[in-house]
Amino acid sequence: MSFGLASPLWLVGLSALLLPLVLHLLARGRGRRVRVGSVRFLTAAPPRRPSRLQLQRPLLLALRCLLLALVVLALTAPRLSRASAAAAPPVWVLVEPGIGASELPARAGTAIAAGAELRSLAPGLPRRAAGGGGATPEGGGELAALPGGTWSLLREAAASAPAGTRLVVVSRGRLAALRGERPALSNPVDWLSVPPPGDRGTAMTNRWPVRAAATPAGRTLVVGESDASVTTFRREPLAAEARTARVPPGDAFAADDSLPLPTAAALRVAVLTAPARAAEARYVRAALAVAAEAAGVAIVVTPATGSGHAVALPAVAGTTARPALAFWLSDAPPPAQLLAAVREGTVLVTEASGSEESCAGGFSAAVNAVPVMLHRCAAAAGTRGRAAAVPTWRSDRGRVVLAAESLGRGRWLRFASRFHPAWSDLVLSGAFPEWLRDLLRETAGASAGAERSGSDQRGDGGQGAPARAVARGDSATAPPTPSRAPEQLAWLLLFPLLVAERWLAVRR
């Protein structure tokens, strides 16, 4: 049994007890009434004053002090809790496959020696012998390949283990194994990270190739380096004769941490713009620069402008000058020369032209992206009477926003709005460069830059440990709720004490 205060700062209010004490010391009190025949001889006599302070009505003073002290005690919210004598909760030690018994941290070994249940961090959570070790290679990463990764296994362990079981997770700390929504478990979780085999340091430093890209200046490799506290990225040049990208030897990285390199040839992109669409061209070129960086593809943008609605085209026909991707930003329909390049393999992107139409709503331009708001629409240039297009984007009101049509060996993508903030929020959204990134990769084909989908990046336990949340009604894991009986009793006693104080105050 223990006693505590929820708001102990209210104890400062006990200083108010000095107020009734001072008032009672300074009070003169009430004298007795004496009948006299004449007061003639009393008028000249000076009044008699006490030589020292006298405490008036001590019983009333004690009652008032008790009343103030009870109010302060009630405001501090006293709590009464009983000490729990429950047994220690069970412990499960979950070890990632590939970690041997000799690599287990001291805390995990102590828990196993104390009777903790040893299981593998794998689907089904199979039991594991105390001296056994997993055979999963470090680069294989069963957890990284498992849907849901480590967190799905922790949910499974929390559901199958007895209530209140403490989970001790021993992992390599690979961030690629943490996928999906971070769970909130009522079980206490101890997260222990083990360095990979061959790691000479104790900081778990890890380097891995992130992305290989071809640029006009040559091929580069983006290398990531992380430990338990920070992750950094930097670019390193690649030799012209290299076939795969790999971090320098001697560092701890997965055995398959290599990337096929892209070709050095740059992708030709033509942005053909009428003078009235110069603003749209600026947004497209800026997004292309970001998308090419993300895709790891070197591009050469060829602009072309003209007077009025006409556009002076470069030599887009033929095999040498034909662009791989072309944007037609004009009210006029694409010319025959450009359509001939599309039939030879060019991907053509056109935007809306003609009279505006009301098309308020939103559409999804990329997977897992926030819907983009649509303001204005119009029919794409040169699309009147064409019905072979396949809708790619649709608004929430059923309006076709982007349609794709095969034309010879190429494709024609028709956007029903314009690449301008007054028409839609697409150019202000991250979905725009993301869509162009996928379009550049698809257009570049085998020459596109390579990128690892799941790197061997490391992290500390704070990134992998689940959020702690005590489930309601779980008496096995939730701490005992302190009793509020002392606080309620203090408030209940205030009324009778107040009545008694008033009775004594008016009593003669």
Contact 346, 326 (CB under 8 A): yes
CA distance linking residue 27 with residue 165, whole number of Å: 66
Token reading at 324: 């791989």
Contact 389, 403 (CB under 8 A): yes
Residue 131, burial from CB neighbour count under 10 angstroms (0-12, 13-18, 19+)? exposed
Q: Which CATH class name applies to 267-446?
A: alpha beta
pTM tops 0.85, yes or no:
no
CA distance linking residue 68 with residue 62, whole number of Å: 10
**Which ranges constitute the DSSP H helices of 117-226?**
142-145, 149-160
Residue 503 CB: number of other CB atoms within 10 A? 11
pLDDT in tens, the chain (508 residues): 678 888 888 889 889 888 888 888 877 666 667 787 777 766 666 666 655 667 778 888 889 899 999 999 989 988 887 765 556 789 999 998 888 888 888 888 888 988 899 998 888 899 887 765 544 433 334 676 677 778 888 889 988 998 889 999 988 777 767 766 778 888 888 888 887 665 544 455 666 667 766 666 667 777 777 766 677 788 877 776 555 555 554 344 444 445 555 555 678 899 999 888 899 999 999 999 988 877 777 788 887 655 444 455 554 444 446 889 999 998 888 988 899 999 999 999 999 877 777 787 888 877 656 788 888 888 654 444 455 678 888 888 888 889 999 999 999 999 999 999 999 999 998 889 989 988 988 887 755 555 554 455 565 555 666 766 544 444 444 556 678 888 888 889 999 999 998 888 887 6
DSSP 8-state assignment for residue 403: E
Which helix (H) or strand (E) segment is 362 a member of?
Answer: strand 357-363
Spacing of C-alpha 219 from chain mean position = 33
Task: Give, rounded to a whole angstrom, the gap between the first and last alpha carbons of the chain.
Answer: 46
Identify the pLDDT of residue 346. Answer: 92
Residue 460, burial from CB neighbour count under 10 angstroms (0-12, 13-18, 19+)? middle
Closest by Cα among 385, 398, 439, 391 to 414: 391
CA distance linking residue 381 with residue 376, whole number of Å: 15
Which amino acid is located at 384 in the chain?
R
Phi, psi of 179 (to 5 degrees): -130, 160
DSSP 8-state assignment for residue 286: H
Spacing of C-alpha 35 from chain mean position = 89
CA distance linking residue 473 with residue 385, whole number of Å: 65
Pairing label, strands 347-350, 357-363: unpaired
Q: How many residues does the chain have?
A: 508
User: In the chain, count of helices (H) and strands (E)?
Assistant: 10, 23
Closest by Cα among 401, 402, 376, 403 to 387: 403
Please list, in sequence order, all residues whose beta carbon lies within 8 angstroms of the beta carbon of residue 30, skipping any fewer than 6 positions away: 508
Query: How distant, in Å, are the alpha carbons of 29, 271, 274, 289 from that of 313?
Result: 110, 10, 11, 22
Contact 316, 270 (CB under 8 A): yes
Closest by Cα among 446, 439, 437 to 262: 446
Domain positions in the chain are: 2-26+54-84+482-506, 91-200+458-468, 206-260, 267-446
Interhelix angle 278-295/431-444, nearest 10 degrees: 60
Residue 183, burial from CB neighbour count under 10 angstroms (0-12, 13-18, 19+)? middle
Please list, in sequence order, all residues whose beta carbon lies within 8 angstroms of the beta carbon of residue 109, skipping any fewer than 6 positions away: none
